Structure 1
Amino acid sequence: MSWFIRFNKPFDVLPQFTDRANAETPRSTLSDFIDLPGVYPAGRLDRDSEGLMLLTDNGRLQAQISDPKHKMPKTYWVQVEGSPDAAALKALRDGIDLKDGPTRPAKARLMDEPEDLWPRNPPIRVRQTVPDSWIELTLREGRNRQVRRMTAAVGHPTLRLIRARIGDYTLEGLAPGQWDSLTAPTLDSSPKRKRDRRPRR
């Protein structure tokens, strides 16, 4: 049987099954929640982020989901400092100039706090004099800490980050630390381009 599962990763859990960097005082990893042989994440989610991860024991499927060329959109619920105005949201949609280059156009909108949202442990830091807001942000790329860098660039640092959707898969019905098994998507069977084997001159 081939496994394809979705998992709601809690805050402060490493997105891997071992913590070789801290052998003496290991941190929480996926192995604390998932006991399936040969299953690996299809993509990553930072330790200080929460939400949806997809995992499989099928190497081709793992590569297909992780490969940016397939452009699976990823939707995040982002709690930020302050109240983003129309200009900040437009900048997120149009693309932000980061140190590693401009981001691709994205979808960004203000949203209410998600319903039935679980408490984070530990809670976010709260400043009584600074309001906070929620943004729904959908990207088709996945650079290192991209969402946090984008919101910071428009003046609204991220306080809490939850990945809510990957492609057609969502967090619906999953509490933090829970996983369930899914029907695996059909693998991309498009033929690979043949390499030109003519001798070079």
Structure 2
Amino acid sequence: MTEPLELSISIDVLKAGNKAEFAKLVNQYSNSVYRIALKILSDPSDAEDVLQETFIKAFRALPGFEGRSSISTWLFRIATNEALMLVRKRKPDFVLVDEPDAPDEDENSGQVQLTDWCCMPEAELMSDESRRHLEEAVQDLTPALRAVFVLRDIEGLSIKETAEALDVSEQVVKTRLLRARLRLREDLSRYFGGKMAERLEK
């Protein structure tokens, strides 16, 4: 997806309620906001709702924006909160808080059987089927892990920016990111392991 050209946006003008300046903000960040919502929710209709609600809430809250984080991180925080609120509505028992010091079976990577992909043809590693499987594996993550992975590894936010967007500590971000990456690596190892077995049988 092609991002719009970077536009010069004045925070002071935005906070004053200038609608033309706000339109520039929407144009610049709507793709990223929609992408984040879609990756967390896996539903285009829900992602559209989050996109709309994010900018409605942003417009209303702009006069109180203090600039402690960048405008993009602030928007991503609103979008992520909106997406996770939808998750909570569907799964009332869902809890976002992770214990960063708690032992996790995923952190013991010695128990994870990982496949060496070096012998897989590049065309297969980069195939549409493989990319679809990766997208499905991301959707299989818990929403808390998925949100961190999407913001950090897909949208490219820093650890600090991801922590600000999710309103958690940097240590929690690091812990969730480790768990997300290990679970994805284990899932992809099983997937490519099966592919390699199929090739050997031919």
Same fold by TM (over 0.5)? no
Higher helix share: 2
TM (norm. structure 1) is 0.24
Q: More relative contact order in 1 or in 2 (CA 8 Å, sep 6+)?
A: 1
Greater strand content: 1
Q: What TM-score, normalized to structure 2?
A: 0.23
